[in-house]
């Protein structure tokens, strides 16, 4: 008797050496691509939902690429729902300008940001203020991979989504993932591959399956990230808590900079928008205006 081929839907969790590893809900299958998928412009990537024909020994062939919701370039992953942006409260201290650029870049990619302030076990009293400031406008989780504080909240936030762990290196991304995923052994405490060898080695992104459903992507961490190219007029929209005020400014297309009759400047004066946050907005705005002049 000839065995029946089965078509199942799964998610590409890894692409390596010409093979696509597809998680079908039960197992991971090593798949090749059907010829016509090899020669199209739209390449199958990690995070893609695909239909595969299952074969023997956990093998299979990718037959169809299902529509994508989104594509992230760095790391190269499709269908990312959210990013956990990890910064440590200490060792290293958080670079808040960098955090803001991560937040803007994430929102620009239509990915929902969650801020994770890690290493709370090392934090000083004074840093509670940073946490409460961000809580006003973002979803914030405070964790320690050492004491276990906040790990339940982190686990809950990841259920059933594809989540990228972003943030600088050394903040504890891999340690957190090891703490919440039984059996996972991501390398931790490493100096970035690039620094050590002096040359850039290609990293393959991989989806890690969560016990409760959903996937996460660990990243080596970016120590820098440019402010994305936005129209200066659009910037306020990427500052939750500031953008909400802008509909009533006197000038259409107000940059909330030097214009009279600006409702945002008024809100800053009256303490409804925090001064530090507005100054961060101005710093980015000036960068964008500078780029436009060049
Ligand atoms: N005290 C403390 N150390 C941590 C915590 N999380 C991670 N670390 C340490 O921070 C260092 C960097 O962690 P790692 O997970 O490699 O950071 P990554 O580069 O963001 O993946 C390691 O030495 C970890 O043991 C934490 O919550 N508290
Ligand atoms: Mg790491
Ligand atoms: Zn204004």
Q: Describe the chain by its helix, strand, coil percentages, rounded to 5.
A: 30, 25, 45
The predicted structure's pLDDT at residue 205: 86
The predicted structure's pLDDT at residue 3: 54
Which CATH number characterizes residue 151's domain? 3.40.50.300
Residue 31, domain extent:
6-67
Q: Whose CA is nearest to atom 8 of ligand 1?
A: 172
**77 plus 182 within the same structural domain:** yes
**191 plus 134 within the same structural domain:** yes
131-158: string of b/e by CB count within 10 Å (b at 16+)? Answer: beebeebeebbbbbbeeeebbebbbebb
Assess contact for 20 and 44: CB atoms under 8 A. yes
Ligand 3 center to residue 132 CA distance, Å?
A: 26
The predicted structure's pLDDT at residue 191: 60
Question: Structurally, how many domains does the chain consist of?
Answer: 3
**83 plus 185 within the same structural domain:** yes
Task: Please name which ligand lies nearest the alpha carbon of 236.
Answer: 3
Ligand 3 center to residue 114 CA distance, Å?
A: 27
Question: Which residues line ligand 1 at a C-beta cut-off of 6 Å?
Answer: 118-119, 121-122, 144-146, 169-175, 188-190, 221
Burial of 3 (0-12, 13-18, 19+ CB in 10 A): exposed
Tokens encoding 264: 């945002």
Task: Please name which ligand lies nearest the alpha carbon of 232.
Answer: 3
Q: Kindly state the helix (H) or strand (E) to which residue 162 belongs, with its residue range.
A: strand 162-166
**103 plus 239 within the same structural domain:** no
Tokens encoding 89: 């409260």
Those residues of the chain that have pLDDT short of 70 are 1-5, 191-203
Which CATH number characterizes residue 58's domain? 2.40.50.140
Q: Whose CA is nearest to atom 13 of ligand 1?
A: 172
Assess contact for 83 and 55: CB atoms under 8 A. no
The answer to pTM > 0.75 is yes
Task: Please name which ligand lies nearest the alpha carbon of 259.
Answer: 3
Which atom of ligand 1 is nearest to 190's Cα? 16
Residue 22 lies in a domain: yes
**236 plus 104 within the same structural domain:** no
Q: If we measure between CA atoms, which residue out of 112, 105, 138 comes closest to residue 230?
A: 105
Q: Which of 141, 175, 217 to mutate to test the pocket of ligand 1 (most atoms within 8 A of CB)?
A: 175
Residue 223 lies in a domain: no
The predicted structure's pLDDT at residue 81: 96
**59 plus 77 within the same structural domain:** no
Tokens encoding 248: 């009533």
Q: Which residues surround ligand 3, an ion (CB under 5 A)?
A: 249, 254, 256, 262, 264
Residue 163 lies in a domain: yes
Q: Whose CA is nearest to atom 23 of ligand 1?
A: 189
Would you give the distance in Å from CA 193 to the centre of its chain? 20
**180 plus 196 within the same structural domain:** yes
């Amino acid at each position: 008797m000839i065995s029946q081929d089965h078509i199942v839907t799964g998610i590409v969790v890894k692409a390596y050496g010409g093979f696509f590893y597809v998680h079908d809900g039960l197992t991971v299958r090593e798949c090749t691509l059907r010829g016509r998928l090899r020669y199209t412009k739209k390449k199958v990537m990690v995070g893609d939902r695909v239909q595969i024909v299952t074969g023997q020994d956990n093998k299979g062939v990718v037959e169809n690429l299902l529509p994508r919701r989104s594509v992230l370039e760095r790391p190269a992953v499709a269908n990312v729902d959210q990013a956990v942006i990890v910064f440590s409260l200490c060792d290293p201290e958080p670079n808040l300008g960098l955090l803001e650029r991560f937040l803007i870049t994430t929102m620009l990619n239509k990915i929902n940001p969650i801020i994770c302030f890690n290493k709370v076990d090392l934090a000083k009293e004074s840093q509670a203020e940073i946490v409460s400031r961000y809580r006003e406008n973002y979803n914030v989780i405070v964790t320690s991979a050492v004491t276990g504080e906040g790990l339940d909240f982190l686990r809950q936030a990841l259920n059933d989504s594809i989540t990228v762990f972003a943030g600088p290196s050394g903040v504890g991304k891999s340690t957190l993932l090891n703490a919440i995923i039984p059996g996972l052994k991501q390398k931790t405490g490493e100096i970035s591959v690039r620094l050590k060898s002096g040359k850039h080695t290609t990293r393959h992104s991989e989806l890690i399956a969560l016990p409760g459903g959903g996937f996460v992507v660990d990243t080596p961490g970016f120590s820098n990230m440019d402010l994305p190219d936005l129209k200066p007029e659009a910037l306020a929209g990427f500052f939750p808590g500031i953008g909400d005020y802008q509909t009533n400014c006197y000038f259409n297309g107000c940059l909330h900079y030097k214009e009279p009759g600006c409702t945002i400047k008024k809100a800053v004066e009256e303490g409804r928008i925090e001064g530090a946050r507005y100054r961060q907005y101005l710093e980015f705005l000036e960068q964008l205006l500078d780029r436009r002049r060049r």
